[in-house]
């Protein structure tokens, strides 16, 4: 449990730092560059086969592709919507997508508590958006929903890769190593030239390095937890990061009305029920 809770805190923290950057969509390239470097250091102590089967390698590569999609959609969501709203929609949406797949594909147990939890998550997310956002905030929510699909996908891919014997340091480094060039190429399409992109990436280097280290801690602890627990349970418990994100958003002077705070509370309660220990 402590691994997942620590991962949740670090995850919300690096997202909050990314939100503070003037251009989150470019800054995420710098953050993941730092993260890949940290992953390489972690993998130096690797012993034995990194990917003992072709399936382990395949799911590791798939995780990297989905990670790149997640990072792009996350940055777009954070550049258009408040941290608390974008974060709750993306993490809550991922829970709703992961649990049915985990039950049908990975043989995780479905209980009344889990079904009630899923319902609360859905109601909470709907409640946060009863008054439909407009303009850039609406775009941010849509990007957050796309991010939710990618989050669900890479978590399931991580679990399959670990189940096939992939070692966490190698899985972490390869998946983000695949995500980084894809992320750069997707970002480059929106810039006038490489120089413009590099100038944006080099802005506020201390923030990028700090966010990269926190990102490394978040994902490495997640993989260690996934090695011993079910995907749905881990992702659900990790969504305690929603609380951390709301607090960090408030510290950045973001304001959420009572409806959205209540919606986030329902998402959290649903997450607790989904992750409740099975008898």
pLDDT above 70 (res 106): no
Alpha-helical (H) ranges within the chain are 2-20, 24-43, 54-78, 83-105, 112-128, 135-163, 168-188, 194-201, 205-226, 231-238, 241-251, 258-274
Q: Retrieve residue 119's tokens.
A: 């319902």
What pLDDT, on the 0 to 100 scale, is given for residue 126?
Answer: 67
The total number of structural domains that make up the chain: 1
Range of the domain at 138: 2-274
Band of residue 159 on the pLDDT scale cut at 50, 70, 90: confident
What pLDDT, on the 0 to 100 scale, is given for residue 181?
Answer: 92
Question: Contact, 251 vs 84, CB < 8 A?
Answer: no
Q: Is residue 7 part of a domain?
A: yes
Q: How far is CA 190 from CA 26, 58, 67, in A?
A: 10, 29, 19
pTM of full prediction above 0.75: yes
pLDDT above 60 (res 100): yes
pLDDT average, residue stretch 195-223: 87
Closest CA to 235 of 247, 250, 218, 248: 218
pLDDT above 80 (res 228): no
pLDDT above 70 (res 194): yes
pLDDT above 70 (res 271): no
Q: Is residue 190 part of a domain?
A: yes
Q: Is residue 263 part of a domain?
A: yes
Question: Contact, 55 vs 160, CB < 8 A?
Answer: yes
Q: Is residue 76 part of a domain?
A: yes
Q: Is residue 279 part of a domain?
A: no
């Amino acid at each position: 449990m402590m691994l997942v809770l620590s991962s949740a805190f670090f995850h919300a923290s690096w997202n909050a730092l990314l939100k503070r950057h003037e251009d989150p969509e470019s800054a995420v390239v710098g953050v993941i560059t730092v993260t890949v470097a940290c992953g390489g250091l972690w993998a130096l102590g690797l012993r034995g086969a990194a990917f003992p089967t072709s399936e382990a390698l395949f799911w590791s590569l798939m995780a990297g592709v989905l990670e790149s999609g997640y990072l792009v959609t996350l940055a777009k969501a954070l550049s258009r919507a408040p941290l608390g709203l974008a974060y709750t929609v993306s993490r809550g949406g991922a829970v709703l997508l992961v649990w049915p797949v985990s039950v049908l594909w990975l043989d995780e147990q479905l209980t009344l508590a889990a079904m009630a939890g899923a319902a609360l998550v859905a109601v909470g997310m709907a409640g946060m958006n009863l008054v439909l956002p407009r303009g850039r905030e609406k775009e941010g929510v849509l990007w957050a929903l796309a991010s939710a699909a990618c989050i669900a996908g890479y978590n399931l891919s991580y679990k399959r890769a670990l189940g096939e014997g992939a070692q966490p340091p190698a899985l972490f480094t390869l998946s983000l190593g695949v995500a980084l060039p894809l992320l750069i190429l997707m970002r480059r399409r929106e810039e006038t030239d490489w120089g413009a992109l590099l100038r944006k990436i080099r802005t506020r280097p201390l923030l990028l390095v700090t966010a990269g280290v926190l990102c490394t801690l978040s994902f490495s602890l997640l993989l260690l937890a996934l090695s011993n627990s079910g995907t749905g349970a881990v992702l659900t418990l990790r969504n305690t990061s929603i609380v951390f994100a709301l607090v960090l958003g408030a510290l950045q002077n973001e304001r959420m009305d009572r409806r959205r705070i209540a919606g986030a509370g329902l998402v959290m309660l649903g997450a607790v029920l989904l992750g409740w220990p099975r008898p």
